[in-house]
Amino acid sequence: MSYYFAILRNESEQDHLDWIKACEQMGREVRYKVIDITTADWLEEVLKEDFDCLLTRPPGQANIFKNLYDERIYILHKVLGKRIYPTYEEILIYENKKMLSYWLKANKIPHPKTYVFYFKKEALDYAKSCDLPIVAKTSIGAAGSGVRIFYNQKDIENYIDRAFSGKGVSRSWVPNLRKGDIGKRTINRLKNIPGFIRYMRKKRKSATIDPQKWFVIFQEYIKCDFEWRCVRIGDSYFAHKKVGGRGIIISGTSEVSWDGPSGELLDFVKGVTEKGGFFSQAVDIFEPEPGRFLVNEMQCFWGSKNPHQMIIDEKPGRYIQKGSKWMFEEGNFNVNNSYNLRLKHVIDILTNIKK
């Protein structure tokens, strides 16, 4: 049985390449066509051929292109009934911390209290009475680039003033010092200084071209030494700890601890993803005290250079649930940024539909 996929690329020249690699590594079973969903003829291009599924890759750099992608996916999936992967709801909350906070609250999923203010006075009133420290986030921004922690009221008020002005709030674009291997990364960059300069210019443009204006997002500060990175793709589950690098913001660090997850944590992740019908999802979870889980962030795509997302007893692998028991299976299931595993899940879905 063979399948024909459309890979819906975004404005980035890179984001969709892992889908291409996954399709090519799958062999003759898979054909694909790349369609740029940001161009004016996007709809005509998608409707030219009959695809088994549209493989998406929503952007995470600028709100203008995030909104474009969400709107066009809505037309393709909700209006025209095209099958997509991941689900529309997963795409909608991806790199949209406003929508994620609404979704978590509506579904009564434990998470740090989050407030979204669209009126300056309301935000300033909150700043006068909120517990400190407090976390500010931009709606879009991966690896902690839009996260700020405030310890005094004056700094919060300055942040609000900037957000509700023509300047807006930009994300950080300087090198991420929270990541490990600073020396190694610096040496690698110095090997190609012109390339490093181009990379930094591109990063700066991405972070500052679309500053967040006219609203702010504040989140309750949770004191925690680590954050669980939990992943579900299909029926495969993974988890490891992200531990603090330099500073106290855990998001964006590359320091990990391969502590094994409890069955209670895996049950929690399954419950959260089942609530939304999510099957390509990273769930970042605080555990401020044993057995108390709070969802910090969720995303249907994430960066990972490792061929694994979990190591148990020095063996990479995954958990799958058999009955009520969680069973560990050894293997490198997350090669190619987990896109191969995603594609396998898509094919499993399609195969079951065609039976």
Cβ-Cβ contacts under 8 Å for 298 (sequence gap 6 or more):
93, 100, 272, 278, 281, 282, 283, 284
- For helices 193-208 and 182-190, give the axis angle rounded to 10 degrees: 110
Contact 320, 327 (CB under 8 A): yes
Q: Number of folded domains in the chain?
A: 3
Measured torsion, CA atoms of residues 66, 71, 76, 79, in degrees rounded to the nearest 10? 160
Tell me how far apart the alpha carbons of residues 280 and 236 are, in angstroms, rounded to a whole number: 10
In a domain, 102, yes or no: no
Tell whether 175 and 231 lie within a shared domain. Answer: no
Tell whether 241 and 341 lie within a shared domain. Answer: yes
In a domain, 210, yes or no: yes
Q: 203 — phi, psi (to 5°)?
A: -65, -40
Q: What is the pLDDT, as a whole number, of residue 143?
A: 63
In a domain, 74, yes or no: yes
In a domain, 164, yes or no: yes
The pTM assigned to this predicted structure is 0.88
Q: What is the pLDDT, as a whole number, of residue 246?
A: 45
Token readout for 70 is 């969400």
Tell whether 230 and 350 lie within a shared domain. Answer: yes
In a domain, 8, yes or no: yes
The CATH number linked to 165 is 3.30.1490.20
Q: Which of 220, 249, 268 is the last residue of a domain?
A: 220
Tell whether 183 and 113 lie within a shared domain. Answer: yes
Cβ-Cβ contacts under 8 Å for 139 (sequence gap 6 or more):
63, 95, 96, 97, 98, 146, 212, 215, 217
Write out pLDDT tens, residues 90-130.
Answer: 999 999 999 999 999 999 999 999 999 999 999 999 999 99
Per DSSP, the three-state class of 123 is helix
Tell whether 237 and 345 lie within a shared domain. Answer: yes
**CA-to-CA dists, residue 293 to 44, 80, 157, 311, angstroms:** 45, 38, 31, 21
Q: What is the pLDDT, as a whole number, of residue 207?
A: 58
Tell whether 147 and 74 lie within a shared domain. Answer: no
Q: What is the pLDDT, as a whole number, of residue 201?
A: 65
Contact 58, 66 (CB under 8 A): yes
In a domain, 154, yes or no: yes
Query: Does 175 sit behind a cis peptide bond, omega within 30 degrees of 0 on the bond before it?
Result: no
**Residue-number span of the structural domain to which 81 is assigned:** 3-85
Tell whether 240 and 207 lie within a shared domain. Answer: no
The CATH number linked to 326 is 3.30.470
Tell whether 114 and 81 lie within a shared domain. Answer: no
Token readout for 126 is 């909150």
Q: What is the mean pLDDT of residues 80-88?
A: 98
Write out pLDDT tens, residues 190-232.
Answer: 777 776 666 666 656 565 667 899 999 999 999 999 999 999 9
Tell whether 180 and 210 lie within a shared domain. Answer: yes
Tell whether 216 and 230 lie within a shared domain. Answer: no
Q: Which of 178, 199, 220 is the last residue of a domain?
A: 220
> In whole numbers, what is the pLDDT of the chain averaged over residues?
90
203 vs 152: which has the higher pLDDT = 152
Tell whether 276 and 258 lie within a shared domain. Answer: yes
In a domain, 93, yes or no: no
Tell whether 50 and 123 lie within a shared domain. Answer: no
The CATH number linked to 12 is 3.40.50
Q: Which of 172, 195, 220 is the last residue of a domain?
A: 220
Q: How confident is the model at residue 177 (pLDDT cuts 50, 70, 90)?
A: low
In a domain, 321, yes or no: yes
Q: What is the pLDDT, as a whole number, of residue 208?
A: 63
Pairing of strands 84-85, 53-56: parallel
Token readout for 135 is 């976390």
Q: How confident is the model at residue 178 (pLDDT cuts 50, 70, 90)?
A: very low
Burial letters 184-196, b for 16+ CB under 10 A, else e? eeeeeeeeeeeee
